[in-house]
Chain A
Amino acid sequence: MQVSRLSRDRRPADSRGLILPRLFVRFRFRLALVLFAFVGWVGSAMADDISFNRDIRPILSDRCYSCHGFDEKHRAADLRLDIREDAEWALDPGAPDDSELIRRILSDDPDEVMPPPEAHRKAISAEEVDLLRRWIQQGASYEKHWSFIAPKKIATPARSADAVIDHFVSLGHQRVGLEFSPAALPAKWLRRVSLDLTGLPPTAAAMRAFQADVDRLGEAAYAEAVDRLLASKSFGERVAMEWLDVARYADTNGFQQDAYRMNWPWRDWVVDAFNNDMPMDQFIAEQLAGDLMTNDSSGDESESGPSQSQLIATAMNRNHMINGEGGAIIAENLAKNSFDRVETTGTAMLGLTMGCCQCHDHKFDPIKQKDYYALMSFFNQIDESGMTSRRFTIKPEGQQYAERYAVDRPFIAVASPELKHQLAEAKSLTAAKQKKLLEQRDQYLPDFVQWVKEMRADDDLQVQRIRDDYVRRIVNTADLSKPNSGETKRLLDFYLDQTKPWSEARAELKAATLAEANIQARIPLVMVMRDNKPRDTFVLLRGNYETPGEKVTPAVPDFLPPLPSTDGERPTRLDLANWLISPHHPLTSRVMVNRYWQMIFGRGLVSTPDDFGLQGAFPSHPDLLDWLAVDFQESGWNLKRLIRAMILSKTYRQQGQVTAKQLAADPDNTFLARGGRSRLDSRFLRDQTLALSGLLVDKPGGPPVAPYQPPGIWEAMSLGQNHYIQDHGDDLYRRSLYTIWRRVVAPANFFDVPSRQSCSVLPSRTSTPLHALTLLNDTTYVEAARVWAERLATIEDDGERIAEAFFAATGRDATEDECITLMSAIQKYRDRFRSDPDAAKKLIAVGESKTLTESKTAGSLAASEHAAWTNLCLLILNLDETLSK
């Protein structure tokens, strides 16, 4: 685009000083009138009142700022519209039709119209032009971007946090002409709240008891139920799932080897933190900088360093993938590891899209490329290797396949003294065997030299003797005068491994090493943060580690509050953490509150939880978000208090029915005039199913488990190198939180889940036939239906049994039509399986859990009867209402 396009000459320079002040006076007067007229109106939004942040900035940011924003490299016509002073000559406050901005938007000359066609930006719509006109008419005032200003509490008449929510939501209703829906029935509410707070459904009995409680105690019953759920240890597991997605937790390293890592104690730390009411500011700070904290509770000087728990917390910044690929370059890996930390911090804590700034200044937000690297330098001083520093392979007795582990320093071993002792013994045994072996090594050298020389004289012999290409390639080049160095050593090792008696002693050593590794695998080596001497950090031009630019030191972007003073010392991660949780920080508390709102209501008050910047969505209820963010801080970052307020609100209690009017006025339920209905996260679908069937083994923590998965999936993703070794017994029925998560391929029966390869804060809810196939055919679900059917069989009457199953799954009594449909269904299934007893036997044999017939004395349930009810239970598990909350 040519510079001449927007000409500065259009407007006489000397007119500015004369006209503008007058306009501003006029504007202020008008605004005062507006405010006066509506005094007593609480809330920010008046249909006539243009808000720059809400109405105007999204248009300018989306269509204009990429060429007329603060990014000077891409600025066209030397015009920026993001600063009032610089934009003034394109605006004529009070006179939209005299404003160049409007003129250019409305121009039908392709050389003049804005945005220009070649920018491929959406044209500015008639409604948007109207907003811009009114904005200019009202004086074209600017505001600092809303999320960069510290939140404030607006006074409300409400007397409790939940009432505040309802107050602001009801103001929103007025804007769109809707009102609160009636409350959900108590059982339905309890089911929803249990799923939201624990990821598990209440039992049918609990729902009935709750109905009775409500009749007896009224409102108090709700509060009691919420407190009970918040106090259950399942709460931590449910909330941890969300944080694990954010923190890209997985049980392997990713990339080519995708070897196991052992950071699961961090996962358990997260669960415990939520269950123990850890204040969320501490939750953030310990994960960012627990290693730099002092553990003053002991009062003992010698133990004033971080506790083991604080160290484990910092594994959050080691959850990124680690590349151990053969050709990988350490400097590149180090850069990428730290990129990931910066971007995860950016998304998870700041709600900013830092990623852009790896290569260039942000196009929309005032983040400079230099800010990115200044943040990176906080992280660029840990003692990591850039590859993996500790690798071992295990193969427990009786296991068909070996499994590879690889972790990188710094790490800590988390184990009981007894296990540590066992490991130490195994290690000394290995060392002794190794020493013995090495002492013999020189005896073999003359024969080895001879062996190599023979092959050098005869190519065929090489192929005959050495199958491994990578070893064979050394034969001609090995320096035989240095048998214990470099590649020659590799060749010598190869030779020794097939030469007796060395090979026998070597086999013993291998066995000892394996025994040691098998013990090691039971002692998690948790990768943590521990600072070393800082590495120099440079702005990497275009994000390329090979082209370092200006050197930077730890700092935070200057459009945000400054770091607390460090008295001239180099700021640390702890300073960064304290900055994030400082009371004046405009982002952290808002970002956290918004994500938990999203967890409970299905959609954030800011619908772009990953972007609070200029291109992000404006909050649907800005005053509510701010009120909650401030209140959250004032409460000591008390998460349970925040969630309790959401759950006890009238807003949350609304029923899920949708009317045509609501659908037309508010299809996405942005304004919350009905209860949120959405399909459960696939991981909680599995938990719910296990719970309904009675199969769930609700045991917390520990190493990941491997429940059912069709064979061949890991093999296909690793060219046969990684094998899924399925567990048996209780470990088949643990909560999904504990299912082993391989970085290159998520567990097969999870769908619409983050890849856990990078930070993810926006849940995905799609609907494909593949999901239906999983829920209909996966062993997990079929077995659950089978076991559930058997448990239900204690209810004699068909109708009662159906009623019970339906109620347990949905939290609602089936209607008469529904009962009729299900009664006729079970009759059909009975007929079908009676006429095909073989099919019945096969169906009730799905899964490894014993049938009650096998395990107990009962034996009364005929196979055909059991199969028919299994099919019916599978149907109930797949009802839309069962799948949804």
Chain B
Amino acid sequence: MNLRRRTFLGALSLSLGMPALQSLMAADIDSDNAALPNFPPRAKRVIYLMQSGGPSHVDLFDDKATLRKMQGQQMPESILGGLRQTTMTAGQKSKPCLAAAWDGSRRGQSGMWISDLLPHTAGIVDDLCFVRSVYGEQINHAPAVTQLMTGHNLPGRPSIGAWLTYGLGTMAQDLPSFVVMTSKDRENTCGQLFFDYYWGSGFLPGKYQGVPFRSSGDPVLYLSNPAGISRDTRRGMLDDLAAMNSLAHAHYGDPEIETRVAQYEMAFQMQASVPELADFSAEPQGVLDLYGPDVNRKGSFAYNCLMARRLAERGTRFIQLMHAGWDQHGNLPNQLPIQCKDTDQPSAGLVKDLKRLGMLDDTLVIWGGEFGRTPFVQGDINNPTAHGRDHHPRAFTIWMAGGGIKPGSIYGSSDEFAFHVAEDPVHIRDLQATLLHLCGIDHERFTYRHQGLDFRLTGVETARVVKEIIA
């Protein structure tokens, strides 16, 4: 891999000015960014396992004795306190407590309570740091996901991956630096859409936006040559094209033409590197097994998790997996186990695999949704086949691993109803500040000038790096 890359670069640099190449491959080298990273990074890359829809923290991670004791009883007004609910439960007259529907146990050195629905996650608790006090304000999916991934609830800001690629440049010579893969739950329940601004570049130049890898057809749009054009034929044509463009460069003197030549050359390289990336045939069975039975099914979360590892190995800096289906308003008791089954083993498998390869130390893995779910029932408490929980951004749980995160730890807690944050609140923007910090970036200094303002990922409110969870 490395050898090939070097050969490619060597060959190119003969015909092209290096600046042209750099403008394609690395960040825009301007004086503001030259200083990055601000300090030595703990994480070279990030894999965000975004669980879209809002996994129930109450059922999976945040079991509460009080909730169990008060099962079916109205949640106290002192807790609910006239807070904003979505229109789906705002009109619901009673809000009875609904405790975790499954048993669980305390696991690992940290003694973290994990639902029995997540046996594989439970098995790696000593590698994970659980944050049980994450909170935000947005109560609907789109604004909440937008805030989580871009720092603002309205579309139009750069996503985390775009910021990182802009700031730190790319380490991958023939693959995109920021890749997105989506998957949906098996049942295709009340699913949420994935909007392209969840991985958009906002006001940053378009080249920083996430490249979606698709689950059907070409993994990257327009990757395959048209019918009848072999790789050889294309190579020949691109050589002729480069020759013509070089003649044009001599005529016009415009450095953009050099960039154009590099752009086409990289496209050709990608046509080889992406299929190689998606070819799992060389993975030992033992590794495939880590990710569970779905690993070879394109478009499954398991498949995407293994792709994430392979991308991470090849230098992709930010890998954003988005898995839909956690939005269990009705029938949570039936759907949650299925959803857990689809995601538990692949998530844990990815962490194990990274650890096995020695990559966990400098790869930050984050698992979590845009919010949690209400500790009170949505629907009829007596009808478990048809009830569930509404959106709940006031306190929820995520886990992080690797990349400088303190393994085997727990941070923060919610109150006895798993409703509000009790200790050590971590706002979404604190999480973002921490992520940047682990990548060697001071979130206050990392800005981009747009419409006269210096924007930053974490926005205008004060954000805090959660140093307590850093090893």
* A interface, CB within 8 angstroms of B: 61, 120-122, 255-256, 258, 323, 325-329, 336, 353, 355-356, 363-365, 459, 462-463, 469-470, 472-477, 546, 608, 610-611, 613-616, 656-660, 663, 677-679, 710-713, 716-721, 744-746, 748-749, 751-752, 755, 757-758, 764, 766-774, 776-779, 782, 815, 817-818, 821-822, 824-825, 828-829, 832, 836, 838-846, 867, 871, 874-875, 878-881, 883-884
Complex alpha-carbon distance, A713 and B380, angstroms: 38
Given contact pairs A773-B222, A832-B233, A879-B245, enumerate 10 new A-B contacts (beta carbons under 8 Å).
A120-B444, A677-B254, A713-B214, A755-B196, A770-B220, A774-B222, A822-B240, A828-B240, A832-B236, A875-B244
Complex alpha-carbon distance, A475 and B23, angstroms: 62
B247 contacts the other chain (CB 8 A): yes
B379 contacts the other chain (CB 8 A): yes
- What would be 21 A-B contacts, judged by CB atoms less than 8 Å apart? A327-B86, A462-B385, A475-B386, A546-B84, A711-B216, A716-B194, A764-B205, A770-B176, A771-B263, A777-B224, A777-B225, A815-B247, A821-B240, A839-B228, A842-B227, A843-B226, A846-B226, A871-B229, A875-B240, A879-B248, A880-B249
B88 contacts the other chain (CB 8 A): yes
Tell me, rounded to whole Å, the shortest Cβ–Cβ distance linking B319 to chain A.
Answer: 17
* B interface, CB within 8 angstroms of A: 23-24, 32, 84, 86-88, 139-142, 154-156, 176, 182, 184, 188, 190-197, 200, 205-207, 211-212, 214-218, 220-230, 232-234, 236-237, 240-241, 243-245, 247-249, 251-257, 259-261, 263-264, 266-267, 269-271, 324, 329-331, 334, 379-380, 382-383, 385-388, 390-391, 444-445, 447, 451-454
Which residues of the partner chain A approach B233 to less than 8 Å between Cβ atoms? 829, 832, 839, 871
Complex alpha-carbon distance, A388 and B192, angstroms: 19
Which residues of the partner chain A approach B156 to less than 8 Å between Cβ atoms? 755, 757-758
Complex alpha-carbon distance, A660 and B252, angstroms: 11
Which residues of the partner chain B approach A660 to less than 8 Å between Cβ atoms? 253
Complex alpha-carbon distance, A384 and B215, angstroms: 39
Which residues of the partner chain A approach B451 to less than 8 Å between Cβ atoms? 353, 355, 608, 610-611, 615-616
Tell me, rounded to whole Å, the shortest Cβ–Cβ distance linking A722 to chain B.
Answer: 9
Contact of A325 among B140, B226, B257, B387 (CB under 8 A): B140
| 7 closest residue pairs by CB, A with B | A615-B452, A843-B228, A327-B86, A473-B386, A842-B228, A469-B330, A772-B267
**CB <8 Å contact, B247 and A818:** yes
**CB <8 Å contact, A718 and B193:** yes
Tell me, rounded to whole Å, the shortest Cβ–Cβ distance linking B449 to chain A.
Answer: 8
Known: A353-B452, A766-B205, A767-B259. A777 touches B254 (CB 8 A): no
**CB <8 Å contact, B243 and A473:** no
Which residues of the partner chain B approach A711 to less than 8 Å between Cβ atoms? 216-217
Contact of B223 among A720, A777, A838, A845 (CB under 8 A): A777
Q: Which residue of A lies closest to B185 (CB)?
A: A719
**CB <8 Å contact, B226 and A779:** yes
Known: A329-B87, A821-B240. A712 touches B229 (CB 8 A): no
Tell me, rounded to whole Å, the shortest Cβ–Cβ distance linking B126 to chain A.
Answer: 35
**CB <8 Å contact, B264 and A840:** no
Tell me, rounded to whole Å, the shortest Cβ–Cβ distance linking A775 to chain B.
Answer: 9
**CB <8 Å contact, A773 and B221:** yes
Q: Which residue of B lies closest to A818 (CB)?
A: B247
**CB <8 Å contact, A776 and B267:** yes
Tell me, rounded to whole Å, the shortest Cβ–Cβ distance linking B408 to chain A.
Answer: 35
How many pairs, one residue from A and one from B, have CB atoms within 8 Å of each other in the complex?
A: 286
**CB <8 Å contact, B445 and A774:** no
Complex alpha-carbon distance, A186 and B182, angstroms: 51
Tell me, rounded to whole Å, the shortest Cβ–Cβ distance linking B210 to chain A.
Answer: 11
Q: Which residue of B lies closest to A759 (CB)?
A: B156
Known: A327-B391, A821-B247. A611 touches B452 (CB 8 A): yes
- The A interface is mostly helix, strand or loop, or mixed, namely loop
Complex alpha-carbon distance, A463 and B330, angstroms: 13
Known: A363-B453, A751-B206. A459 touches B270 (CB 8 A): no
**CB <8 Å contact, A821 and B267:** no
Which residues of the partner chain B approach A323 to less than 8 Å between Cβ atoms? 142
Which residues of the partner chain A approach B211 to less than 8 Å between Cβ atoms? 770
Which residues of the partner chain B approach A880 to less than 8 Å between Cβ atoms? 245, 248-249, 256-257, 260-261
**CB <8 Å contact, B241 and A878:** yes
Which residues of the partner chain B approach A842 to less than 8 Å between Cβ atoms? 227-228
Known: A469-B330, A613-B452, A769-B267. A881 touches B191 (CB 8 A): no
Complex alpha-carbon distance, A832 and B232, angstroms: 10
Contact of A326 among B88, B200, B220, B225 (CB under 8 A): B88
Known: A768-B207, A770-B211. A475 touches B263 (CB 8 A): no
Q: Which residue of B lies closest to A667 (CB)?
A: B255
Which residues of the partner chain A approach B140 to less than 8 Å between Cβ atoms? 325, 327-328
Contact of B264 among A255, A327, A616, A878 (CB under 8 A): A878
Tell me, rounded to whole Å, the shortest Cβ–Cβ distance linking B400 to chain A.
Answer: 26
**CB <8 Å contact, B217 and A712:** yes
**CB <8 Å contact, B206 and A744:** no
**CB <8 Å contact, A840 and B224:** no
Complex alpha-carbon distance, A879 and B252, angstroms: 13
Complex alpha-carbon distance, A477 and B92, angstroms: 12
Complex alpha-carbon distance, A770 and B266, angstroms: 9
**CB <8 Å contact, B228 and A120:** no
Complex alpha-carbon distance, A534 and B214, angstroms: 48
Q: Which residue of B lies closest to A546 (CB)?
A: B84
**CB <8 Å contact, B216 and A712:** yes
Contact of A710 among B205, B222, B249, B256 (CB under 8 A): B222
Contact of A744 among B196, B221, B248, B269 (CB under 8 A): B196
Which residues of the partner chain A approach B391 to less than 8 Å between Cβ atoms? 327
Known: A476-B382, A611-B452, A659-B253. A879 touches B196 (CB 8 A): no
**CB <8 Å contact, B244 and A778:** no
**CB <8 Å contact, A769 and B266:** yes
**CB <8 Å contact, B227 and A846:** yes
**CB <8 Å contact, B445 and A772:** no
Complex alpha-carbon distance, A779 and B218, angstroms: 14
Known: A475-B383, A843-B226. A657 touches B251 (CB 8 A): yes
Complex alpha-carbon distance, A776 and B227, angstroms: 12
Of A325, A770, A829, most buried by chain B (CB within 10 Å of CB) is: A770
Complex alpha-carbon distance, A758 and B451, angstroms: 14
Complex alpha-carbon distance, A615 and B184, angstroms: 44
Tell me, rounded to whole Å, the shortest Cβ–Cβ distance linking A566 to chain B.
Answer: 32
Q: Which residue of A lies closest to B387 (CB)?
A: A473
**CB <8 Å contact, B230 and A839:** yes
Q: Which residue of A lies closest to B391 (CB)?
A: A327
Q: Which residue of A lies closest to B88 (CB)?
A: A327
**CB <8 Å contact, B227 and A879:** no
**CB <8 Å contact, B452 and A608:** yes
Tell me, rounded to whole Å, the shortest Cβ–Cβ distance linking B324 to chain A.
Answer: 6
Known: A656-B254, A839-B229. A769 touches B263 (CB 8 A): yes
**CB <8 Å contact, B87 and A120:** no
**CB <8 Å contact, B252 and A767:** no
Tell me, rounded to whole Å, the shortest Cβ–Cβ distance linking A521 to chain B.
Answer: 22
Q: Which residue of B lies closest to A810 (CB)?
A: B248
Q: Which residue of B lies closest to A610 (CB)?
A: B451
Contact of B228 among A476, A751, A757, A846 (CB under 8 A): A846
**CB <8 Å contact, A469 and B331:** yes
Tell me, rounded to whole Å, the shortest Cβ–Cβ distance linking A683 to chain B.
Answer: 14
**CB <8 Å contact, B444 and A353:** no
Complex alpha-carbon distance, A660 and B259, angstroms: 17
Q: Which residue of B lies closest to A743 (CB)?
A: B195
Q: Which residue of B lies closest to A257 (CB)?
A: B193
Tell me, rounded to whole Å, the shortest Cβ–Cβ distance linking A192 to chain B.
Answer: 13
Q: Which residue of A lies closest to B250 (CB)?
A: A817
Known: A772-B263, A777-B224, A815-B247. A712 touches B24 (CB 8 A): no
Complex alpha-carbon distance, A546 and B138, angstroms: 13
**CB <8 Å contact, B195 and A764:** no
Complex alpha-carbon distance, A845 and B270, angstroms: 25
Contact of B237 among A470, A744, A875 (CB under 8 A): A875
